[in-house]
Structure 1
Amino acid sequence: MSPKNDQEIMNEYLSNERTLLAWLRTGIGIMVFGFVAVKFSLFLKQLPTKYLAETLPPNSNFTIYLGIGLLVAGALTILLSYLRYIHTIKLLKKGKYQYSTAMLTFITMMLFVLSISLIAYLIIAASA
């Protein structure tokens, strides 16, 4: 295998930056969804009952907690992506980059659990 030239090395660094930016967008998107969930829950609680004659919003604060969980998940995504970015830079400088799926697996599982919680809540709220 031939040694890498300057262009290939620069492409690796730029690829790492693009990956960080993609994870930042993902984290922000997760946080926005959490913020909307919390704000919508608070909005429903503030509506007078005359506007909700047939239906009553659930008294549970689960949506607020779920929204806060999504905000935390988004913040963790941003933090973990930055830490992974720094780690990858160090490995690239040493020429010893190793692919790892640990962060991706953690974030995927965290979002999966939050998604299942939201689905369960919506099913319970719809049947009540």
Structure 2
Amino acid sequence: MDNENKNLANDQMANERTFLSWIRTGIGIMVFGFVIVKFSLFVNQIPSRFFQEPDLPKNGSTIFIGIALVLTGAITILLSYFRYKQTYKLLEQGKYLYSTMMLTVITVVIFVMSIIIIAYLIMAAYPAG
């Protein structure tokens, strides 16, 4: 194997490792969303007599937050696949250009979801009224 083929093979394997890392990230986001939804359903089924406060919040906001996180994880996986294929082709052609677009979009989406979760937790901790 000549040096050029060896470098290309190393680049392709690094591309694959990056893809697999994005897959794990997407799965982690999805699992977090799933846990939020299941916990919300669990809390809504517990009788209020187990709690000191009779007014346990019963809104469905957490279900929407959880579903949005699962959707974000699924989109992360899909985008990572397209990025992997694009990088593979560019490496084969010797024209690879570094891009942070996917990283930026996913960072912004996860940051916004985090702010929504923080706002929900604050509202749940200090209910109006």
TM-score between the two structures when normalised by the length of structure 2: 0.93
Distance 1:108 1:42 in 2: 28
Counterpart mapping for 1:1-128 below 5 A: 5-54=4-53, 56-128=55-127
Shift of 1:7: 1.1
Shift of 1:51: 1.3
User: Which AA in structure 2 matches 1:60?
Assistant: N
Shift of 1:55: 5.1
TM-score between the two structures when normalised by the length of structure 1: 0.94
Q: Which runs of structure 1 show a deviation greater than 6 angstroms over 4 or more consecutive aligned residues?
A: none
Contact 2:19 2:80 in 1 (8 A): yes
Give the fraction of aligned pairs with identical amino acids, expressed as a percent.
56
Distance 1:82 1:115 in 2: 24
Unaligned runs of 5+ in 1: none
Unaligned runs of 5+ in 2: none
Shift of 1:71: 0.1
